[in-house]
Structure 1
Amino acid sequence: MKKIAIIIVLMFSFLVSFSQSSTFYNKILFPLQGSNTIVNIITEDSVYYILHLYLDTPYVNNQGMGIMKVDSLGNIISNKVWWDTLNNYIVTPGNSMILGMDTIIYFVGMNNKPNQGFSATLFKVNPQTLDTLWTRTYTHPDTAAAALPGASIFNAFTAIRQSLDGGFIISGMYNPGCVPNTDRKAYLLKVDSVGNVEWIRKYPTITSLYDIELAPDSGYYFPTVYNNTIRAVKVNKYGNIEWSVIVNTKQYPHVPLDLEILNANYLYVSSTFTYDVTYFQHSVVLAKVDIQNQTKLWEKNYIVFNNFKCQSLHQSMGLDILPSGDLIITGTVEMLNPDNSQELYHKGMIMKVNSNG
């Protein structure tokens, strides 16, 4: 089950429960001078590993990335950054870092080198020292087109999970045929425990894939935009689509998306929709799917604050299932400044609903 935290700029909020008591605090973290944006958090015992993006302000075209190691009180233990003036590193928020079965950190992203395009990369990192153990860079899914002189290459990993056999399933986005300014399509890549490719499955009608979850039969679930509709999709262990269910029937459905599994029987999928097309204002959609019958049980929408706006690369929607069965939805909302109705600002949002929405 994914652990969710809300981060606005670098406000790091913890709610740690011990028996009947709770401790809550906010901390502003400054791992490096410049701009820092948290994109993923994983936990091991009382330690938090935080994957973040780093922008050294004088070199605005060169974005780096780093991992912070933070104790249970929010104090930075150590920090490692990957940054240089010849590379631009990008990692997508929400699902791009995991702690493996071997208690080693794995994360995925992309590396943009001058005149070489965007290359998808898998990193393996020692959680004790934050040293890089190895990296693997992978070719564009359309290998023949990518080999042509002057090819426009875009190949980005977006999410990673460890498969039941100890390898990894990775989702990605690419530009078919290496054609510039074309619609990006999705794919799944299966690699073994040391990053060797086992298979790749491209999806020509899927245009969004930023989350993937394991199914008990060694297959996978993911939320996506499939044939221009927002769906929960089930694939087998080789990435072949077995079934899909539409989970957002609004007139103007929209990303971002997130998916969680309850007891191998149900899927919950969160997404958004545009409820005001004049001002492009969004709100939350939540759906529940019966896995055995492959049907949607219900779909509900929630207009929260002024605008549930999680549209940019560095913002994402979170969905988590609590032990009680209740659901937590997180994201960024755009609100009017109470002191100036012409001014908007952004806040982090946490919404709790019961198992029936």
Structure 2
Amino acid sequence: MSGFSRISLFLMVMAILLLYSCAQAPISVVSIWQKAFGGSEWDVAYSIRQTTDGGYIVAGYTESFGAGEEDVYVLKLDADGNKLWEKTFGGSGWDVAYSIQQTTDGGYIVAGYTTSFEGEGHVYVLKLDADGNKLWEKTFAGIYADRARSVQQTRDGGYIVAGFTNSFGAGGDDVYILKLDASGDLEWEKTFGGTLDDMADSVQQTRDDGYIVAGHTCSFASSDVYVIKLNGDGYEEWHRVIGDEHYYESANCIQLTGDGGYIIAGYTASETGWRDFYILKLDASGDLEWEKTFGGDRDDEAYSIQQTSDGGYIVAGYTTSFGAGEEDVYVLKLDADGNKLWEKTFGEEYSDEAYSIQQTNDEGYIVAGYTESFGAGSRDVYVLKLDKYGNTGSYPQ
């Protein structure tokens, strides 16, 4: 055999071996899908988190199932969005969950409000085991309306809860922060604000074992973003009021960033009433580094934000400026400086909104809210799994 023939044969064998090895190599497939859950009435998700088994835990409320007018609704999904179990909690009144998190014991902590007990409404906190069974429930309130909007397990095994109270404080609604121990018993509670309405929508434990809280204030401005830094005992270290005197601003979510600062998502509205996504980056001292607005000529509001593994941010909410229907799920990917990399809308003819988003282990995103365009009822829980570019599966039936 000539030298040329031997070289040709060698190259052909190597090509075959290379093709075979590529065929045998595992291919990583990112799961993308959309699902709707619920019955014939209104069912809404306010919070979703990926769980340690690769699935998801969802919380909100249901009017289709349960004992009362509205009940806390918790769903466990597998990695492909199939329902593993669902649970309802509450009494004969209105009971709603706004926040859920998996806890270090594999169970879940849930926070919201209940009107099934005495008073106009109580902060409602539930601890569930890994199968969704209730281990304990706690209510906290005075005689008027009190709500929890955010909960997080703390490093000491307890919980930090944020919302608002009309029962205590200086006047109107006040920011209401509660620190609970691992059994749900109250360690301390604090109120913040002035004589008008002041509310908290989001809380996170900080690296120094204090807490960062975000919401809005009408006591210190016409209606502006309100950020409070607390120490570990709940005493204020500083606060910031951010906004324009000719606009109305509110923060719906705050998260820690890798540089020690904070990222905030909410809305800004002109005096004409139309809202835009409002994204703010603060440094560790609470000073504004940059702010961005996104949206069109109608209402657009951001409810959830998280820093992503590339240093940028993923944001979710709703839009009435773009999309196919009355309101559509609106997801934005931003770079580290808040510049828009891409945007996506999801939904069809009717109202569809997102209240919660999180980056997943496969670099994609999980989104939850509600849909009126799909599902079994007038409003159903809506869960979307996206890839890293915002692509998803076909609409649910």
TM-score range, shorter chain: 0.7 to 0.9
Q: Counterparts of 1:249-260 in structure 2 under 5 Å? A: 249=244, 251-260=246-255
Instruction: Determine the structure 2 residue equivalent to 1:284.
Output: 277
Q: Is the aligned partner of 1:55 residue 2:82?
A: no
Q: Is the aligned partner of 1:189 residue 2:175?
A: no
Distance of aligned partners of 1:337 and 1:187 in 2 relative to their CA distance in 1, 3 Å threshold? closer
Could you tell me whether the CA contact under 8 Å between 2:115 and 2:121 is conserved in 1?
A: yes
TM (norm. structure 1) is 0.77
- Which of 239, 243, 247 aligns to 2:238? It is 243
Q: How many residues align?
A: 306
2-structure distance, mates of 1:298, 1:224:
18
Structure 2: any 5+ residue segments left out of the alignment?
Answer: 1-25, 339-397
2-structure distance, mates of 1:176, 1:111:
15
Q: Is the aligned partner of 1:333 residue 2:319?
A: yes
Distance of aligned partners of 1:230 and 1:255 in 2 relative to their CA distance in 1, 3 Å threshold? closer
Instruction: Determine the structure 1 residue equivalent to 2:332.
Output: 351
1-structure distance, mates of 2:264, 2:121:
30
Structure 1: any 5+ residue segments left out of the alignment?
Answer: 1-17, 141-145, 147-152, 310-315, 339-343
Q: Is the aligned partner of 1:100 residue 2:103?
A: yes
Instruction: Determine the structure 2 residue equivalent to 1:318.
Output: 304
Could you tell me whether the CA contact under 8 Å between 1:286 and 1:300 is conserved in 2?
A: yes
Task: Report the residue type matching 1:296 in the other structure.
Answer: L
Distance of aligned partners of 1:199 and 1:264 in 2 relative to their CA distance in 1, 3 Å threshold? farther
CA-atom RMSD, angstroms? 2.8
Could you tell me whether the CA contact under 8 Å between 1:261 and 1:268 is conserved in 2?
A: yes
- 1:87 Cα deviation after fit: 2.4
Instruction: Determine the structure 2 residue equivalent to 1:200.
Output: 189
Structure with more contact order per residue of length (Cα contacts < 8 Å, sep ≥ 6): 2
Could you tell me whether the CA contact under 8 Å between 1:247 and 1:287 is conserved in 2?
A: no
Instruction: Determine the structure 2 residue equivalent to 1:313.
Output: none
Distance of aligned partners of 1:108 and 1:336 in 2 relative to their CA distance in 1, 3 Å threshold? closer
Structure 1 segments (4+ residues) deviating >4 Å: 18-21
Over residues 147-196 of structure 1, what are the superposed CA-to-partner deviations in whole Å (9 max), with x where a residue is unaligned? xxxxxx212222111122111111131114599xx731111111111011
Instruction: Determine the structure 2 residue equivalent to 1:79.
Output: 86
1-structure distance, mates of 2:310, 2:27:
15
> Which segment is superposed worse, 214-223 or 168-177?
168-177
Could you tell me whether the CA contact under 8 Å between 2:90 and 2:116 is conserved in 1?
A: no
- Which of 286, 289, 298 aligns to 1:297? It is 289
Computing the radius of gyration over CA atoms, which structure comes out larger, 1 or 2? Answer: 2
Q: Is the aligned partner of 1:89 residue 2:95?
A: yes
Over residues 93-116 of structure 1, what are the superposed CA-to-partner deviations in whole Å (9 max), with x where a residue is unaligned? xxx211112221111122113763
2-structure distance, mates of 1:215, 1:334:
35
Over residues 69-88 of structure 1, what are the superposed CA-to-partner deviations in whole Å (9 max), with x where a residue is unaligned? 1111111111111255x222
Could you tell me whether the CA contact under 8 Å between 1:186 and 1:203 is conserved in 2?
A: yes
> Which segment is superposed worse, 322-331 or 36-45?
36-45
Instruction: Determine the structure 2 residue equivalent to 1:66.
Output: 73
2-structure distance, mates of 1:264, 1:192:
29
Distance of aligned partners of 1:19 and 1:286 in 2 relative to their CA distance in 1, 3 Å threshold? farther
Instruction: Determine the structure 2 residue equivalent to 1:12.
Output: none
- 1:318 Cα deviation after fit: 0.7
1-structure distance, mates of 2:168, 2:229:
26
Instruction: Determine the structure 2 residue equivalent to 1:118.
Output: 121
Instruction: Determine the structure 1 residue equivalent to 2:357.
Output: none
2-structure distance, mates of 1:260, 1:178:
26
Report sequence identity in percent: 16
Q: Counterparts of 1:223-238 in structure 2 under 5 Å? A: 223-226=214-217, 227-228=220-221, 229-238=224-233
2-structure distance, mates of 1:110, 1:48:
22
Describe the SS at the equivalent of 2:199: coil
1-structure distance, mates of 2:27, 2:189:
46
Distance of aligned partners of 1:46 and 1:24 in 2 relative to their CA distance in 1, 3 Å threshold? same
2-structure distance, mates of 1:178, 1:327:
35
Distance of aligned partners of 1:177 and 1:218 in 2 relative to their CA distance in 1, 3 Å threshold? closer
2-structure distance, mates of 1:99, 1:115:
29
Could you tell me whether the CA contact under 8 Å between 2:261 and 2:286 is conserved in 1?
A: no
Could you tell me whether the CA contact under 8 Å between 1:325 and 1:355 is conserved in 2?
A: yes
Distance of aligned partners of 1:198 and 1:49 in 2 relative to their CA distance in 1, 3 Å threshold? same
Instruction: Determine the structure 2 residue equivalent to 1:312.
Output: none
Distance of aligned partners of 1:254 and 1:25 in 2 relative to their CA distance in 1, 3 Å threshold? same
